[in-house]
Amino acid sequence: MSLSADLTRALTAAARVDRLLITSDFDGTLAPIVNNPADARPLRDSAKALVALSELPGVSTALISGRALEVLRNLSGMPAAVHLVGSHGAEFDSGFAHPIDRALLDTIAGELQAIAADRPGVTVELKPASVALHVRNAEPADADSALVQAHAASKAWDAELTEGKAVLEFAVIATDKGEAIDILRDEHEASAVIYFGDDVTDEKAFRRLRDGDVGVKVGPGETLAAYRVDEPEDVGAALKYLLDARR
């Protein structure tokens, strides 16, 4: 567990700006990945540092997650000082910016449930504006065939597909963590933004970062982020570093 010299330099510079916005994904970033999604909890040190940062003058904090907002609120246990955005950046406290096609949502849910029905470990998660098919806990053969079937069925849907780690998610509204970052950046008049993320959906956020911002990819894989750490514990270390630098 360690932070590169490049990253600590960038964090030091970001900590000095007038108004700093610190944002992070939740699963695999603030909280380690677990087999049962309902068991995900933030690492203690990461949560502590993020809450302490949210209480500093000139600092705003937010979690931007693929989870439904209500689920994110419950699992993260964050106080109101930490802003929460659910459904891949589409679900704010004030509601959804775009209307939701309920009929399409029901169609997708029904077909994915049929695909999951005879495959142990394949599960369907219903969210306010999307349906996710999880295959993490299935035998490889069941997982593969479920994903192939879902891909085929989705050709008939006007839905936005997001492929994550062992999950396919179909949203009936536009989902873009980058858009959420832009909205939060304006709202908090931030002079610099820091974003931590581990998955493909986080690339939309990294793409939206500007000069002076700090994007940190957690774990392996191609990324647009300028910095990388190995694991969620490092996110905690980076938040603690920011806290000390800002104080």
Which residue ranges make up the site for Mg ion (CB under 5 A)?
Answer: 25, 27-28, 198-199
Q: Residue 101, Cα to own-chain centre: how many angstroms?
A: 23
- Rg of the Cα atoms in the chain: 18
Instruction: Count CB neighbours of 93 within 10 A.
Output: 11
Q: Least distance (Å) from Mg ion to the CB of residue 26?
A: 6
Distances from the Cα of 218 to the Cαs of 71, 86, 146, 221, 232, in angstroms?
Answer: 22, 20, 28, 9, 7
Q: Least distance (Å) from Mg ion to the CB of residue 184?
A: 18
Q: Which is nearer to Mg ion, 199 or 203 (CB)?
A: 199
Residue nearest to Mg ion (CB): 28
Q: Least distance (Å) from Mg ion to the CB of residue 25?
A: 4
Beta-strand relationship, 123-126 and 91-92: unpaired
Q: Which is nearer to Mg ion, 26 or 92 (CB)?
A: 26
Long-range contact pairs involving 100-105 (C-beta distance under 8 Å, separation at least 24) = 100/128, 100/129, 100/172, 100/173, 101/158, 101/172, 101/173, 104/157, 104/158, 104/159, 104/172, 105/129, 105/130, 105/131, 105/172
Q: Least distance (Å) from Mg ion to the CB of residue 66?
A: 7
Q: Which is nearer to Mg ion, 28 or 86 (CB)?
A: 28
Q: Which is nearer to Mg ion, 179 or 199 (CB)?
A: 199
Q: Least distance (Å) from Mg ion to the CB of residue 15?
A: 24
Q: Which is nearer to Mg ion, 25 or 203 (CB)?
A: 25
